[in-house]
Amino acid sequence: MKIFKFGGASVKNAEAVRNVASILRRFQGEQLVVVISAMGKTTNHLEKIHQARFQKENCHPLVADLMDFHEEIAAELFADPENSLQLTWEYFSQLQEQISSPIVGDYDQEYDQIVGYGELLSTSMVHAYLMEQEIAAGFIDARRVVKTDNRFRDARVDWNKCALGIEQVKSQFNKHSVVITQGFIGSTTNGLSTTLGREGSDFTAAIMAFLLDAESVTIWKDVPGMLNADPKWFPNTVKLDRISFREAIELAYYGASVIHPKTIKPLQNKGIPLYIKSFIDPEAEGSVIQESNAFDNLVPSFILKRDQVLISMSTKDFSFVVEDNLKEIFDVLSDLGIRVHLMENSALSFSICMDKDDYKQNRLFAQLADRYTIRYNEGLHLVTIRHYDDATLKMLTENKEILLEQRSRQTVRLVMR
């Protein structure tokens, strides 16, 4: 059994959906679990709907725009979209009902009840297209399998409950060799939808692989494999043909966009290789992440995180920042679900670098401002360089203001503007 994951770019329009079907035909007869993300920029659009709802704005026009987008794709794929996509239109009805109902949870809980519809819409449409193309495929709602706690927007997997839920996937193979499901989403034991964090569809693929003892996982991307940098920001990128699980975890932790940070652990635990291949050129070799570390330090890797905030918290009475202070600060960070990308401790202050998020920043400041003097800089970049050299450092820091720098033998991290 193999696990395939197709991201938003691979199902962004009708032509892309046809290409997914073409790739699946290459593996006809093999057992496949196919994990699919929301189409194109649907998640971003749903985030706008959620934000408008919380600000008590009329978000129905935004939902209508989203429906138009999916209807345009459907019109190209199906002769009779109305009858072919009954489940898709049912999901739209549920979304309309959700945004019309009173807000009962906090910002993050309500986010998960809305944003996860992107994956439900895309998978129901792709599944219907495969069936029309006579590629017999099963369909399962991932929320029935991926059981989590109630840490909304970054839910933690309950592996024991998932082990029970995976039986529903196994039963699909009694009738089908292909099973379609959603990435990114799960559910609590009381039925509330959760999400696994942005780009969490990769993690879903790893969860399925672990639970099914899969032969491999393949993530289909619009790049030829795992690159040493994001080509949007760095010229002359190099494909990493083979790296270790350990190196991949380091790169993902630091923010490499090609894989979700939690993806590697379940794969490494069972020795399941992860392939990254191009859906544009399916015959190309791609990259593989596996156990051996023999190839890890051949090429420097660059990771850029944009729109960062550097926050410094100092004690108001000029006392040292010690373990009690750090525990207090981290308790607040954990409660707010803030991910710290970099931290530094001095005698009188503690600094963190995080993604800009006005809602969480304001709550952080409100909870700590009575005991700490808080200063911050916005509009920053966090650059991480693995296996750096002097020439690389000079190239990346020329004419830049460095606000914070950390070095180890293999890694340099720079907060700069």
Residue 412 is predicted with a pLDDT of 96
Rounded average pLDDT over 239-249: 94
pLDDT of residue 148: 98
Q: What is the mean pLDDT of the chain?
A: 95
pLDDT attached to residue 257: 73
pLDDT at 392 over 90: no
Helix (H) or strand (E) holding 325, with range, is helix 323-336
- Alpha-carbon distance values, 156 to 161, 254, 265, 337, 339 (Å): 12, 20, 14, 12, 14
Query: Which residue from 224, 263, 264 is spatially nearest to 244, judged by alpha carbons?
Result: 264
Give percent above pLDDT 90 in the chain: 89
The pLDDT value given to residue 59: 94
Q: What residue type is 398 in one-letter code?
A: E
- Mean local confidence (pLDDT), 321-327: 94
- The confidence score (pLDDT) of residue 4 equals 98
**Residue 399: predicted pLDDT:** 92
- C-alpha–C-alpha distance, residues 396 and 278, integer Å: 28
pLDDT for residue 15: 98
Average pLDDT over residues 248-266: 86
Question: Does the pLDDT value for residue 258 go beyond 80?
Answer: no
pLDDT for residue 77 is more than 90:
yes
* Nearest by Cα to 311 from 403, 408, 197, 406: 403
Classified by CATH at the fold level, domain 301-416 comes out as VC0802-like (3.30.2130)
Q: What is the pLDDT of residues 1-42, one digit of tens each?
A: 999 999 999 999 999 999 999 999 999 999 999 999 999 999
Query: Which token pair is 188?
Result: 């609590």
Q: Is the C-alpha dihedral spanning 163, 194, 188, 251 positive or negative?
A: positive
In this prediction, residues 44-54 reach a mean pLDDT of: 97
CATH architecture, range 2-214: 3-Layer(aba) Sandwich (3.40)
Cβ distance 184 to 233 under 8 Å? Answer: no
Query: What pTM does this model have?
Result: 0.86
Predicted pLDDT at 236: 86
pLDDT of residue 32: 98
Structure tokens at 416: 């700069």
Contact residues for 191 (Cβ-Cβ < 8 A; gap 6+): none
pLDDT band at 390; cut points 50, 70, 90: confident
Q: What pLDDT score was predicted for residue 211? A: 98
**Residue 261 — very low, low, confident or very high, per pLDDT cuts 50/70/90?**
confident
The pLDDT confidence band at residue 230, using thresholds 50, 70 and 90, is confident
Q: Does 375 have pLDDT greater than 80?
A: yes
| pLDDT for 60 beyond 80 | yes
Which residues, at least 6 apart from 17, have a Cβ–Cβ distance to it below 8 Å? 11, 73, 77, 125, 126, 129
- Model confidence at 127: pLDDT above 90: yes
The confidence score (pLDDT) of residue 380 equals 98
Please state the domain extents for the chain: 2-214, 301-416
The C-alpha angle 149, 155, 157, rounded to 5 degrees, equals 65
Cβ pair 417, 396 in contact under 8 A: no
Q: What is the mean pLDDT of residues 381-398?
A: 91
Among the residue ranges 106-115, 244-253, 368-377, the one predicted with the least confidence is: 244-253
For 131-155, the pLDDT digits (tens) are: 999 999 999 999 999 999 999 999 9
With cut-offs at 50, 70 and 90, classify the pLDDT of residue 252: confident
From the list 108, 176, 33, the residue with the least C-alpha distance to 336 is: 108
